[in-house]
Amino acid sequence: MNESHMTSSATLDLSLQLLRQPSVTPVDHDCQNIMAERLKKVGFNIENMRFEDVDNIWARKGTEGPVFCFAGHTDVVPTGNLDAWNSDPFLPEIRDGKLYGRGSADMKTALAAMVVATERFVEKYPDHKGSIAYLITSDEEGPSINGTVKVIQALEARNEKITWCLVGEPSSTNKLGDIVKNGRRGSLNANLTVKGKQGHVAYPHLAVNPIHTASKAIAELCETVWDNGNEYFPATSFQISNINAGTGATNVVPGTMNLLCNWRYSTEVTADELKARTLEVLDRHGVEYDIQWTLSGLPFLTPVGELVNAAKDAIRDVTGTETELSTSGGTSDGRFIAPTGAQVLELGVLNATIHQINEHVDIADLEPLAEIYEKILINLLAN
């Protein structure tokens, strides 16, 4: 690709337009309108679905199944210290073949690539099969309460189904398309308060030390093999992220101890099983406690099938890379879409700088990403 091509392409132009919007979560700042205007011109029907302070759009071209949906978010994480950026995070800048700006990797260039791919596909295949849809939110980086989850509820309520969903999250690790995410681990949190009785260290028979009573149970939880994972998932992991007890004095037995812990779990166990096994360990060691659970994401998995194959073939055609399937990393909005029965894949640019100061992407990856997205559409919906 020559230099002039690299600094002007349809995908780069739309990326620049989106990157100029300071859409710090949950603010969309017109990004969705910019996308919607383009999609309207190629036959999409746009539904704005605002919930509370969050803008979302559901766009669809066609009424028939199967439904191929691009999903993503226009919101970005805060910039952090502006002085540490080499250029304004919302005035995208090109330096040495790289495009700098907040959201350049996560995930406005992917949104631009989706739109450009769709325009090109619709032009070549005006009578394509099924439908193409977009589920775009501005609440992925925030609490994720009024975004994708609410749109999915609205779609489910009217029995509107997604067959294949491609989430444009930055999945690539070393080069474009080397990794696609075909699932995510579940995430379960516990807030555990171990109860004791405060007292003087010199009179331990008058106190109950929660650190001592819980220590064997904690050791057992840390050593527990929750499962061995499977073909797609690593073994479930348990981590204590916070542990607090004590008054700061050396001569006081504390009255309580608090722990925050998290399980990243595979499809080999359920959240209910993890809870039951944890309580059994605490009870067997005679620990007195209160525990609050929050489930921040169910695990999901899209096994090899139509969508995975369409993506693998497209990546191989465009980049020559044999892609690898992975379920690692944090959660994404795919967790809300997969439970409807949709096949869900995440495929986007490199994730090396996401959420960082001086977030950037290689400009040379933008057009190939649009080509990959277009080839996936061709593989699934061309007539």
Q: Which residues are catalytic?
A: 75, 140
Measured from the CB atom, is 140 or 371 closer to Zn ion? 140
Question: Is 106 marked as a binding-site residue?
Answer: yes
> Cβ neighbours of residue 376 under 8 Å, at least 6 residues apart?
68, 166, 310, 311, 314
Backbone angles phi, psi at 231, to 5 degrees: -50, -35
Nearer to Zn ion, 106 or 365 (CB): 106
Write phi, then psi, for 252 (nearest 5 degrees): -120, 125
200 assigned binding-site residue: no
Q: How far is the CB of 332 from Zn ion (least distance, A)?
A: 7
| 29 marked ligand binding residue | no
Which residue is nearest to Zn ion, using beta carbons?
106
Q: Is 31 exposed, middle or buried (0-12, 13-18, 19+ CB in 10 A)?
A: buried
Say whether 141 counts as a known binding-site residue: yes
Alpha helices in the chain (DSSP H): 3-6, 10-19, 31-41, 109-124, 148-157, 210-223, 271-284, 306-319, 334-337, 366-381
CB 279 within 8 A of CB 291: yes
Residue 324 counted as an annotated binding residue: no
Residues that bind Zn ion (CB under 5 A): 106-107, 169
Nearer to Zn ion, 106 or 139 (CB): 106
Cβ distance to Zn ion smaller for residue 120 or 185: 185
Give the nearest distance from C-beta 56 to Zn ion in angstroms: 15
Per-residue CA distances from 297 to 111, 198, 263 (Å): 24, 37, 11
Cβ 107 to Zn ion, closest distance in Å?
5
Please report how close the Cβ of residue 324 comes to Zn ion at its closest, in angstroms: 20
Which residues belong to the annotated binding site for Zn(2+)?
73, 106, 141, 169, 355
